[in-house]
Amino acid sequence: PLADGRRQKMAEHESLEFGKADFVLLDNVSMEEFMANLKLRFEKGRIYTYIGEVVVSVNPYRAMNIYGRDTVEQYKGRELYERPPHLFAIADAAYKAMKRRNKDTCIVISGESGAGKTEASKYIMQYIAAITNPNQRAEVERVKNMLLKSNCVLEAFGNAKTNRNDNSSRFGKYMDINFDFKGDPIGGHISNYLLEKVKMHFICFFFLFFLYLLTQLLRGAPDSLLRSLHIQKDPAAYNYIKVGGHIKVGLINPLRHKHLAKYASVADAMKVIGFTGDEIQTVYKILAAILHLGNLTFGVDGDVTLIENTKLVSVLRELLSTKEENVEKALLYRTVATGRDVIEKQHTEQEASYGRDALAKAMYERLFCWIVGRINDIIEVKNYDARVHGKNTVIGVLDIYGFEIFQNNSFEQFCINYCNEKLQQLFIQLVLKQEQEEYQREGIPWKHIDYFNNQIIVDLVEQQHKGIFSVLDEACMNVGKVTDEVFLQGLNGKLAKHAHYTSRKLSPTDKNLEFDRDFRIRHYAGDVVYSVVGFIDKNKDTLFQDFKRLLYNSSNTVLKAMWPEGKLSITEVTKRPLTAATLFKNSMISLVENLACKEPYYVRCIKPNDVKSPLLFEIERCRHQVEYLGLLENVRVRRAGFAYRQTYPRFLQRYKMISEFTWPNHDLPSDREAVKKLMQGCGFDHDAAYGKTKVFIRTPRTLFSLEEQRAEMVQRIVLFLQKVWRGTIARMRYRRMRAALVILQAYRRYKVKSYIREVNRRFKNVRSMKDYGRHVKWPTPPKVLRNFLFVCLDVFPSRWWAWTLIKGLSPEETLQVRAKVACLEALKGQRADLGLQRAWEGNYLVSRGKRDSPDTAASFTLVSSELQRKDKFMRVLFSSNVRKINRFHKAEDRAVLITDRHLYKMDPLKQYKPMKSIPLYNVTGLSVSPGKDQLVVFHTKDSRDLVVCLQGMVPANESRIGELVGTLLALAEVKMLKCLFICCC
């Protein structure tokens, strides 16, 4: 039994007034207590109950507010025992098993028709879609949306409203949802098992066709579409919708807005999935063509069969995009190949009607299979490489027709019930038989529990040469007229001694069976009487090859693709096609093999009553379902068995981090001993058993405790790994940065050295060049040497080049160069002629006087020598004859002598007698005019400025203003005197 801890957990969520949330918690395992608990929970609005990890679901026949987003969040990531029983819990368990253990899982939803299987599959799909993709990635959202929308389309084309069920699945659907390594859906695949093979006048097939498609089409489609399809809104106008001349009113909802909504939702879903406009239009054309086929009637004129309403042939020609004569010929004639000869055999009226109905059935079946294939083409996983993207895991969801027992059970019910036998056998093998066999194989003490193994019934149906399907196929292959009675005789001959088969011939006193018509099979769900009427026709491929060629030759490419075998010529059709029974058997075997390789989770659906009441719970009706679903045996096995088992290596791989003896690797003799040591260290040794290859844990509480300890240790390990990895990343980043810095520094040094070498190469021989390298272009420097370039440009060519030019000059020439430079800096751009091109003589009264007037020069020399002795000046800077202008604008001839200490004004008429002496430190500025005149104003501190005009120039246009200004400025720089104010005005 489960541990008290889990009992307490359950009690926290649901009190005892709602009954036991898990049937394993029953005090006494009996059918009475099981049914009482199931009934109590149904009446209290608790429609889900656990049997361990199996969910038992009772159809509430009403909408319940337990599937919203808040409910999804309550079950997301939780263990089964942590919340009340729910479909979301089993869906989350399957998702976690897939994501955590990288295992393919499947959810098998079983139960009879009307028990709520289809709704359960929809809620499971919605939950899986809701809990994935937290980052809202566009591609994952697209896949999820298409998977959900495919449900809408498949229901519209494959479900029916019957007297037992408003949304009965007339096809089986198995959907694989593919997930990437992150647990996000990346695609899917749908397998369908369409069953309806009934004649049209029995109308069972067209319940789905009418209610989910034609009603939407007739009442919901726009008028323009209806006109293009040549159909009208009145359902009474079409024979396939009528039974016995009247419409099944109870199966039709006349509300137009509801049909509009259904039509719009299906059309929108097809667009979202990816159906093109032409494909959707072809679907409507096929549906309309089937409607019109039902209205085709045949008559007889003598020995000739005719079509009475020929206008419909033209409509069919337009809808099927083929030729009118070909349509008429295919409906009235059958082409037969006898050896090399080809003959056309005319149909009788009955054969033509039969062929018409067979064509309608086949068109719809091909349409449905094409839709499934088209959806698969769109949603399947594309361009997925496991080596790049990780392992692709799968969750399968099976929603298939439930067990059916009608008043008249035919070939369809036989196939449906065989399918349920196969699924029940899988359930027995996985949950009951394998459970007990595994305990015996592992050497675990075990008390055997009896259960009904329905393998004997499965063999009764599918066994080679002896099974019912084999007998049916043999009867269909017999030469001559084959009847259903011949098939029944074959069953009686081969199965007379089988304990689960009987007929009226084998049990003459059983008046519930009719002679030459009925046989009974004792299924796991109870006894079912089948009528053999129609078995032969429904098992054979009854569609004439002429119809296949007709539709293959259509100009509509979509319709043509549905009939590939139509390309064969008449003489090429020699191989007998597989029968419906063989095809269905092969698909069921493949389905069971697919499910058997996955970890299964079960939802067992129960129908509480046959009147669809939300309040009525029929005890006997539900007891029967509990019995044939094997729920009580499941409870007994769960009570006696172990909740969890795993191989020792896999168990250690998952939980070794919670024990110091096993982390990171153990040194014990075997994995079995290591697991024992781990369990003992955690205090769970009393709740575990150790088999030959696996460890068995009895209660979920132990497993959950292990998971909690593992989660805690994983967090610590992750933090440790993050620390180590972050340190590694930091060191790697540091090494990269350091290497980059070394490279950068080396590169900078290389660039600097390269630049210096290039500068050295270019300016290596500048001393020997005529212009000392002024024509040499400086190379572009790297960024780091831009300031260096500015310094170099300041040094060369300005200073070094100037120094190179003047270093060979005499001291007198050097002084003259300095004066010229000072003059240029002060007056450049102010006067046109500064006299820079000629040599500056300075003492013009002496130099020019010796050449022009020796007596005058001698007098001046005598006076200047006396002044030098008296004032102690070192040298004469400038002397010249001038014309003085006083404040009364009176001009007089005078001479100016400028030494390195004084400025003298002399009278040339009196042998250059000094008239005025001005110390140079009293001279504050010098003003000259910008014109060609030689006017100079000496500014003094006492404001007694001296205004003179230089004269006696030889030649006459010689300018001495620049020489005067430059000489004084050079003197000021040499003696560090206060800078003279030079003004040009």
Residues 923-940 have pLDDT tens digits of 888 888 888 888 889 999
Report which of residues 744 and 807 the model is more confident about. Answer: 744
**Nearest residue to 842 via CA among 966, 673, 694:** 966
Q: Residue 8: is its pLDDT beyond 50?
A: no
Q: Residue 684: is its pLDDT beyond 50?
A: yes
Number of other CB atoms surrounding residue 915 within 10 Å:
13
Most confident of 43-57, 265-279, 767-781: 43-57
| Amino acid symbol at 614 | P
Instruction: Give me the residues paired with residue 520 across strands.
Output: 502, 529
Report which of residues 540 and 700 the model is more confident about. Answer: 540
Q: Residue 10: is its pLDDT beyond 50?
A: no
194 phi, psi to nearest 5 deg: -80, 130
**Residue for token digits 């979202």?**
272
The per-residue pLDDT for 983 is 62
Mean pLDDT in the chain? 81
3 state DSSP class of 33 = helix
Question: Annotated binding site for ATP, which residues?
Answer: 111-118
Confidence of residue 202 (pLDDT cuts 50, 70, 90): very low
**Nearest residue to 213 via CA among 165, 174, 252:** 252
Of the chain, the percentage scoring pLDDT greater than 70 comes to 84
How many angstroms separate the CA atoms of 280 and 213, rounded?
13
Confidence of residue 619 (pLDDT cuts 50, 70, 90): very high
Confidence of residue 696 (pLDDT cuts 50, 70, 90): confident
Report which of residues 27 and 604 the model is more confident about. Answer: 604
Q: Taking the alpha carbons of 454, 455, 457, 462 in that order, is the dihedral positive or negative?
A: positive
**Nearest residue to 130 via CA among 90, 72, 180:** 72
| Amino acid symbol at 11 | A
How many angstroms separate the CA atoms of 149 and 171, rounded?
17
How many angstroms separate the CA atoms of 27 and 20, rounded?
10
What is the per-residue pLDDT across 97-150, written as a single tens digit (0 to 9) for each? Answer: 888 878 889 898 888 878 888 888 888 888 888 888 665 556 556 766 776 777
Of the candidate ranges 181-190, 385-394, 447-456, 596-605, the one whose mean pLDDT is the lowest: 385-394
SS3 content of the chain, % helix, strand, coil (to 5): 55, 15, 30
Q: What six digits make up the tokens of 647?
A: 């191989």
Cα–Cα–Cα angle for 739, 743, 747, nearest 5°? 170
What is the per-residue pLDDT across 757-800, written as a single tens digit (0 to 9) for each? Answer: 988 888 888 878 877 777 888 888 888 888 888 888 777 766 77
Q: What six digits make up the tokens of 358?
A: 């067979």
Q: Residue 267: is its pLDDT beyond 80?
A: no
Question: Annotated binding site, which residues?
Answer: 111-118
Domains and their CATH numbers in the chain: 16-247+268-275+287-311+338-351+365-405+600-640 (3.40.850.10), 414-531 (1.20.58.530), 645-764 (3.30.70.1590), 766-808 (no CATH), 811-982 (2.30.29.30)
| Amino acid symbol at 292 | H
Cα-to-chain-centroid distance, residue 70: 25
User: At a CB cut-off of 8 Å and minimum separation 6, what does 709 contact?
Assistant: 655, 658, 682
Of the candidate ranges 32-46, 504-518, 690-704, 971-985, the one whose mean pLDDT is the lowest: 971-985
3 state DSSP class of 246 = strand
Residues in the chain: 985
Beta pairing, strands 902-907 & 688-690? unpaired
Q: Using an 8 Å Cβ cutoff, are 605 and 57 in contact?
A: yes
Of the candidate ranges 323-327, 450-454, 908-912, the one whose mean pLDDT is the lowest: 450-454
User: At a CB cut-off of 8 Å and minimum separation 6, what does 575 contact?
Assistant: none
Report which of residues 764 and 433 the model is more confident about. Answer: 764
3 state DSSP class of 244 = coil
The per-residue pLDDT for 977 is 45
User: At a CB cut-off of 8 Å and minimum separation 6, what does 348 contact?
Assistant: 305
User: At a CB cut-off of 8 Å and minimum separation 6, what does 601 contact?
Assistant: 53, 54, 90, 93, 94, 105, 106, 107, 108
The per-residue pLDDT for 56 is 94
